[in-house]
Amino acid sequence: MTATALAVTGLRDAHGRTARDLRVSLTDRCNLRCSYCMPAEGLPWLPTADVLTDDEVVHLVSVAVRLLGVRKVRFTGGEPLLRRGLAGIVASTARLRTDEGLPPEISLTTNGVGLERRIHELAESGLNRVNVSLDTLDRERYAALARRDRLPDVLRGLAGVEAAGLRPVKVNTVVMRGVNEADVVPLAEFCLARGYRLRFIEQMPLGPEHGWDRSSMVPAAEILEVLGRHFKLTLAEQRGSAPAQEWLVAASERHRAGRIGVIASVTAPFCAACDRTRLTADGHLRTCLFAHTETDLRTPLREGATDHELAALWQAAHLGKAAGHGIGTPGFHQPARTMSAIGG
């Protein structure tokens, strides 16, 4: 198959969607232990030999960008800042060109710990945007929730992203009943005052111990109801393939006008518009966070498969992408890998 033929078909699936957004997990390890994501003792980490090297990551990203129509690349984990070669991986990704002849849009999802020290090098390497995960502004609650007392470090990281000019700065918050519901309004005010884009996320059944329970999940409608009591909200444009439905927030004496998003992954799934494909730290392709099958790209890569062979494997796997995640349907069960091991 020629490069041109591959680029024309791209990463299509049987439900008419085309994937343009690649999420790459750079490690399954993390320096925090957020209770909704990891058990206190951590997880059995991937053996180092199984984790893709920096060159292997760049090789597979380059196949996706050059041959398969991927235009956006997001590095995540685990905690991607734990990856020493991150800036080099970003720089090599920034040198690629998409089917439109442009560099891919490169972003990072991080817990923000240690970000302040790394952000300038990352920005110079070609990083375009950063999402920082922050579930509370209360130091004690943060320490309990993340099982590490790192809130000041995260806040310095966020300020660093702003200082480096990587805008819009995005903040992700998972809302958990009985844990951080009281943080919804303070977090919104904090972000609006600084011009950060805050997105509240419904908790998904991807945590440790398979302890998720729909009835105790805080649904988007409830988050919006709380926000609506404190802010003047107007629905922004329709979200397209973006997971967050955004709301425009009118200015007040406490904050400027801004935007807040709500990601209703469970109660209003965006699967029909999903444009994502995922690569795990050990080089397995996943078509969905909730997929039960994976395609090993690491073995063929290490055995010398050509780029076109790798692209063909990727395309074939993508054709089988499920129509939706099926949370709430009778046959649903959580995938074996948890969020940190898949790459959130």
3 state SS of 146: helix
| Site for ligand SAM contains 77 (CB under 6 A) | yes
Q: Which of ligand SAM, ligand SF4, none does residue 245 bind to, with CB < 5 to 8 Å depending on kind?
A: none
Q: Which of 109, 180, 280, 295 binds ligand SAM (CB under 6 A)?
A: 109
52, with CB counted inside 10 A (0-12, 13-18, 19+), is: buried
Return the number of the residue (91 or 339) whose C-beta is nearest ligand SF4. 339
The contacts of residue 124 (CB under 8 Å, 6+ apart) are: 87
Q: Following DSSP, what letter does each residue of 108-140 receive, concatenated? A: EEE--TTHHHHHHHHHHHT--EEEEE---S-HH
Q: Which of ligand SAM, ligand SF4, none does residue 33 bind to, with CB < 5 to 8 Å depending on kind?
A: ligand SF4
Contact 140, 100 (CB under 8 A): no
Q: Following DSSP, what letter does each residue of 247-284 receive, concatenated? A: EEE---SSS--EEEEEE-TTTS--GGG--EEEE-TTSE
Q: Which of 114, 207, 219, 335 binds ligand SAM (CB under 6 A)?
A: 207
In angstroms, the CA 291 to CA 274 distance is 14
Return the number of the residue (258 or 343) whose C-beta is nearest ligand SF4. 343
Nearest CA-CA partner of 21 in 71, 62, 66, 57: 71
Sign of CA pseudo-dihedral 63, 93, 25, 318: negative
| Site for ligand SF4 contains 23 (CB under 6 A) | no
Q: Which of 6, 11, 22, 30 binds ligand SF4 (CB under 6 A)?
A: 30
The 103-122 contact track toward ligand SF4, x by CB under 6 A, reads --------x-----------
Q: Which of ligand SF4, ligand SAM, none does residue 38 bind to, with CB < 5 to 8 Å depending on kind?
A: ligand SF4
Q: Which of ligand SAM, ligand SF4, none does residue 283 bind to, with CB < 5 to 8 Å depending on kind?
A: none
In angstroms, the CA 37 to CA 269 distance is 20
Using the rule CB under 6 A, give the single segment among 11-19, 51-59, 72-80, 100-108 that binds ligand SF4. 72-80
The least CB distance from residue 8 to ligand SAM, in Å, is 33
Backbone Cα Rg of the chain: 19
- The residues in 129-168 that bind ligand SF4, with binding defined as CB under 6 A, are 133
Structure token digits, residue 338: 């948890």
| Site for ligand SF4 contains 32 (CB under 6 A) | yes
| Mode of pairing for the β-strands spanning 105-110 and 129-133 | parallel
The least CB distance from residue 232 to ligand SF4, in Å, is 31
Return the number of the residue (188 or 204) whose C-beta is nearest ligand SAM. 204
Q: Which of ligand SF4, ligand SAM, none does residue 204 bind to, with CB < 5 to 8 Å depending on kind?
A: ligand SAM
Contact residues: ligand SAM, CB under 6 A: 30, 36-37, 76-77, 79, 109-111, 133, 172, 174, 201, 203-204, 206-207, 339-340, 344
Contact residues: ligand SF4, CB under 6 A: 30, 32-34, 37-38, 77-79, 111, 133, 340
